[in-house]
Amino acid sequence: MTVKETKGFQTSRERMTAMEEERTSKKPEKQVTRSETIKRAMEPEQAIAQLRQCATDGNAPDVFMYNEVLKKIMNIHKKKMSYMCLKLFLEMIEITKLQPNIVVFCSLLDVLYHDKRYHDILTLCKHWCFADICIEFLETKSNQKTACSHYHRYENTEIETMLGSLNNMAITPNQMLYNILIKTFGKLKWWNQIAPLLELMTGHHKLGPTLSTLNSVITAYALNQRIIEIEQLYMGWLQRSHEFPFDMDIITINSILKGYKLSSSPTCFYDAEKVFLRHCGHKLFAACSSQSPDQMLSLTQAQQTYIQNYFQNQTFGDDFLSPRYLVPNPFTFSFLISCAAQCGFADRALFYFNVRELIYNVADIDLICRSAVMNACLMARDCATVLDCSETYNKPCYVIAIRALFVQDRIDDALSVFDAGFEMGLLPYLERERSDLFCMDVHHYDLIISIIAVMHNLRQLCDALKLDIKPNIKNNLSIIVGKGVNREGNRHPLHVELPKALKNKKFFDPPLQYRYEENNIGKLFIDNHSLVEYISYHLNEDKQKIHQKLFE
């Protein structure tokens, strides 16, 4: 059909349709290019294969192909597959011979940081020649687990070499790269190298600090319990805040409070509260000055007077109560409450827990704050308040509630709470590969939780025998207790303390006998005769029958 023939159509719509059909019928089919093939590839591995094939055919990969593969690699970030992401990234650089974009490179470093691959970050930053250095590493460390955890460990003296190499980078670093390096130094306990790194940033590369830089430095110092450095940095910023184009945010305040929490100082709460009230106390002060009974619901007269006196005795400058003041979040209260717990101020911990939602309208999931205030009350031996706060549970809340019940000798109640946590999957204690054998692994718990876990397991075993279910115990009931120390500290290694508890009639009646695995103090075996005697006593059944059900 030609255009001339369209004169016979009744409407313009029909005429236009005919012209479009004629145009499309003569249009040649578009050839699918290698770039389009890469774009259509669903997986990064497929895109890399197409890119490698392109290079093999003698066609130099263009920037469009480079970017398409890069997008697919960056999508792996969401899955936290840092090893695969790094490997594909290096393969692409090797194929294309193109320098990586600094923003994309920093994105890769950020994923490595969150996957705790700090030494890989240093390697990439130090050499910057990805194919020549890191491809060899990937070939020798092809196993993912090995590469993630057992790569070359730098000595502290080698940090100078890394800092020197930053001066000769092929691509000039930006603030984002320095921020990641600062946080990495903090994780590696290299806090004393942060100052030289900042000098290199501001001096050689003429990069001014950003809010992220400030937060990264404070976080790094907090992880290393360097309170003096944090306070010097904080006070210096307060005195020179007009020189910087940014203000502190709530992340900055949280990092400072975290530093006080990790310091374990007996006076950390006073310093932490001062920082909190300076930046977040405006609503609390307004509530203390208000006559509204709703806002004053959780504040006693003494607490109101305390807050009012604090603000009257402080000099905040002309910008007091300005919009620059910050709204705290659950983490802010969690750190503050934890500081109160460390100093033994359970009443202050409860105070901030109660006004959290009432005054600040922090109505987010408050399990972090709840577990912190429960721990504060437990340290103050206020077990009743601990149990009153335990309406909603996460794992720390379960653990704290069990400890509170345990110290009150309410063992049955502690077992009930533990059972609820076990059923929800929050308090696992069975050995993963041998859970059907009633074998236990409690090395990640403290002594109290370990005792309750063993009690719970023995009750489960008794319940199974009551229902004539034959438990699959082949030789011995084992308990992994670990060779090191638990969270209670160096004074209470579990492999020493738990055996004492097994022989204690207060917890296990009749007492349980045990033996260590040969050449392994990290694993116990309950004596079979002792186990039979224990179950026979609690089920009031003949020992011979119990032995048959267990082992025959």
354-364 tens-digit pLDDT: 777 677 766 55
In the chain the domains, ranked by start, together with CATH numbers, are: 25-151 (no CATH), 432-551 (3.30.1370.110)
Contact 352, 333 (CB under 8 A): yes
Whole-angstrom distance, CA of residue 370 vs CA of residue 334: 8
- pLDDT the model gives residue 256: 93
| 191 three-class SS | helix
- pLDDT the model gives residue 7: 47
* 304 C-beta neighbours (distance < 10 Å), count: 17
Whole-angstrom distance, CA of residue 312 vs CA of residue 308: 6
| 524 three-class SS | strand
Phi, psi for residue 479 in degrees, rounded to 5: -135, 120
Longest CA span, the chain: 107
Share of the chain above pLDDT 70, in %: 57
Give me the torsion for CA of 328, 333, 339, 340, rounded to 10°: 120
Residue 176 backbone class (left: φ over 0; alpha: ψ -120 to 50; beta: rest): alpha
- pLDDT the model gives residue 143: 32
- pLDDT the model gives residue 64: 63
More confident position, 294 or 542: 542
To which residue do tokens 């006196």 refer? 309
HSE value, Cβ hemisphere, 13 Å, CA-based, for 193: 21
Contact 476, 528 (CB under 8 A): yes
Beta strands 440-441 and 477-480 are parallel
Confidence of residue 257 (pLDDT cuts 50, 70, 90): very high
Cα-only R_g, the chain: 32
Whole-angstrom distance, CA of residue 185 vs CA of residue 168: 20
Whole-angstrom distance, CA of residue 96 vs CA of residue 112: 23
